[in-house]
Copies of this chain bind each other. A is one copy, B any other.
Amino acid sequence: MAGKFQRILYGGDYNPNQWPEEVWKEDMRMFRKAGINSATINVFSWAKLQPSEETYYFDELDKIVDMLSAEEDDIVMATSTGALPAWMVKRYPEVARTDYEGRHHKFGQRHNACPNSQVYRKFMVSLTAKLAERYAHNPHITCWHINNEYGGECYCENCEKAFRVWLKEKYKTIEAVNKAWNTEFWGHTFYDFDEIVLPNVLGDGIGTEDTAFAGLSIDYKRFNSDSLLENYCMERDAIKAVNPDALVTTNLMGTYKGLDYFKWAKEMDIVSWDNYPALDTPWSFTAMTHDLMRGLKKEPFMLMEQTPSQQNWQKYNSLKRPGQMRAQSYQTLAHGADTIQFFQLRRSVGGCEKFHGAVIAHAGTENTRVFREVSQLGEELARLGRHILGTENRAEVAMIFDWDNYWGLEYTSGPSEDLKYVDQIHQYYRYFYEHNIPVDMVSAEDTFAGYKVVAAPVLYMVKEGMKEALTAFVKQGGILILTYMSGIVDQSDNVYLGGYPGPLRELAGVWVEEIDALFPDQKNQMIFADGREAECGLVCDIMHLEGAEALAVYGSDFYKDSPVVTRNTYGAGSTYYIGSDPSEEGIEMILDKVREEAGISGASGEKARLEIVSRWNGEQEYGFLMNFTDQVLPVPERFAGKEDLLTEKAVESGETMKKYDVKIVKM
């Protein structure tokens, strides 16, 4: 099992086009010194490759490809379609986007093309086809990277028309649209597809985050995700037409809201993504995002971008501390990456990213802390590839992450504006992270086969088939974790009538009669059977047991003593239902029970110690031990005597690890 690559790709975004050729040679020298074996090129060169509608220019790119090929580098070839050439916008203004406020943009920035402009599509495919023709058989081109960080939205007339076509394909009749969006409300009935307008500020959008018709706005999100995906597929197909074996990806952005990445992943040969945690991003959050990216295809992924040190676009762009970049890179590998790539290899001289960290600083010297740390890692990765590449992560716990739910939950008007999808998912993920219990982030379409526990926080929208899949899972012995705001609506954001949590009511064995919303300074308590108590708030379900048992009851307010956490035996399994947003301690108390029932123990017994994650290749397991805490921590005894791939020595009994220390132990 060697994965998609022959070695761990180590490199990143490289823009020699921004530099005179004399610099290129120096780049090559320094890359060799740093152990860099790969470069992502041609990310934003459209204007150079195609100086006018009629002409193309590949000489410079040829030179770059030749140089890297000669160096035996792995080339990640981007297609340059992520930023429009100025001449194109001037000649065909429709290729630019119209924003949420209804303003048609002129030339500027990047990620600026209307995905439904036929002009853009024509030029985009032509360029990619030409690139494929020229380079797709170069054996040094290991991977194709289409466009860049797809995202954003367009509200122009072309998109409006395309949306109507998309709706017609989905719903067939206008009556079906009216039913799906419940347009009888506020007399929004449409009699013709042409009456439908995009839900921006000039339509049903309310501010930038809310909407009068969630059904409409969610469908727009789906449409926009599909439109950009169609762009991706057109480029991919242009490449595959020349070389069907080409490995094609585009760089995703973790929990980015705009695109349904599970749908995208089906069209991608390998997932790649860009990881930019801030100083105050919890390590558990980054871990979750890696698991999500791995979960998209349940396969190893590429880390397409991270910064060697600092970003430039955050409010306060902290340097990475000594050892931090290395430890972050190993966390990335531990969670399933087969590449470590940076943005960027050489810092730009101008433009808005000139203060973004790079392997080679403006100083241009190898005599920097950052370069030394990059080099150390390069040396290590060269030794690790044969062990790690293509190995898999195994988990007994699955968590559902679903973009439809993301959109649906955050579009709700009520009960509380503080309900944020990703935060909700993360607070449950964190429990598993802190107990070193591996988690697969899975799609709402998953079958959940093979998992002991499925956690589905705020599963607000239950789409077709999900009830059946979850029921089968529990019936066969699985443990399902549900929370407040679950089972409320169908795929069109219409409520399941008959009582919350709708299709999950039987599984949960509870009926939620009312949902209270608490002000941020209001709190309630969960009182557990054993007398322990934890704070809760945000929303409070007032519920009735319908077969479930109460594990905890409310501690105050008029629903004091009524159930807040319940457990329902169903078939061979059980469902936990958490009726209010718990404190970290509350989650701990609940999930400890789940863990006990499931018979799952993490890689270490205790919370908040070393992060320990395993990859295995079917025979051999590799345990990644990382210390992200400020304390010096002991290595658990079970690792003693086993080989650490990094030191190539056996772990000693009683060994300790400082902040950012890493071990990769052959188990």
Contacts and interface: CB of A to CB of B under 8 A. Distances in A.
Interface string A45-61: 11110011000000000
Nearest to A181: B350
A456 interface: no
A497 B417 contact: no
Contacts of A44: 185-187
Interface residues of A, number: 118
A197 interface: yes
A184 B18 contact: yes
A87 interface: yes
Residue in A46, A184, A206 whose Cβ sees the most chain B Cβ within 10 Å:
A184
Interface stretch (A329-337, A357-365, A577-585): A357-365
Given A195-B86, A350-B181, A204 B109 contact: yes
B103 A201 contact: yes
Given A312-B415, A415-B312, A47 B350 contact: no
A212 B85 contact: no
A182 to B, nearest CB: 3
Interface string A198-223: 11011111100011111100000000
Given A203-B107, A415-B317, A185 B500 contact: no
A310 B412 CA distance: 14
Nearest to A46: B187
A278 to B, nearest CB: 10
Interface in A48-94: 48, 51-52, 80, 83, 85-87, 89-90
Give the copy number. Answer: 3
A498 interface: yes
Contacts of A106: 197-198, 202-203
Nearest to A182: B350
Contacts of A418: 315-316
Nearest to A511: B363
Contact of A191 (B86, B499, B513): B86
Contacts of A189: 47-48, 51, 85-86
Nearest to A179: B350
Main secondary structure of the interface of A (DSSP, over half): loop
Contact of A318 (B197, B279, B516): B516
Interface string A503-524: 0000000010111111110000
Contact of A365 (B280, B499, B500, B558): B499
Given A310-B517, A519-B318, A195 B87 contact: yes
Given A87-B195, A110-B186, A414-B356, A517 B317 contact: yes
A353 interface: yes
Interface stretch (A297-305, A377-385, A487-495, A641-649): A487-495
A389 to B, nearest CB: 32
Nearest to A513: B368
Contacts of A213: 350-352
A350 B214 contact: yes
B18 A182 contact: yes
B349 A495 contact: yes
Given A104-B202, A319-B516, A518-B316, A85 B354 contact: no
A348 interface: yes
A378 to B, nearest CB: 20
A160 to B, nearest CB: 9
Nearest to A49: B187
A108 interface: yes
Interface in A314-330: 314-319, 321-322
A257 interface: no
Given A312-B414, A495-B354, A51 B182 contact: no
Given A86-B195, A109-B206, A185-B353, 13 more contacts: A45-B187, A48-B189, A90-B192, A103-B202, A108-B212, A181-B351, A206-B352, A214-B351, A315-B417, A316-B517, A316-B519, A318-B518, A318-B519
Interface of A: 15, 17-18, 44-48, 51-52, 80, 83, 85-87, 89-90, 101-110, 181-192, 194-199, 201-206, 210-215, 279-280, 309-319, 321-322, 347-356, 361-365, 368-370, 412-418, 489, 492-500, 511, 513-520, 542, 558
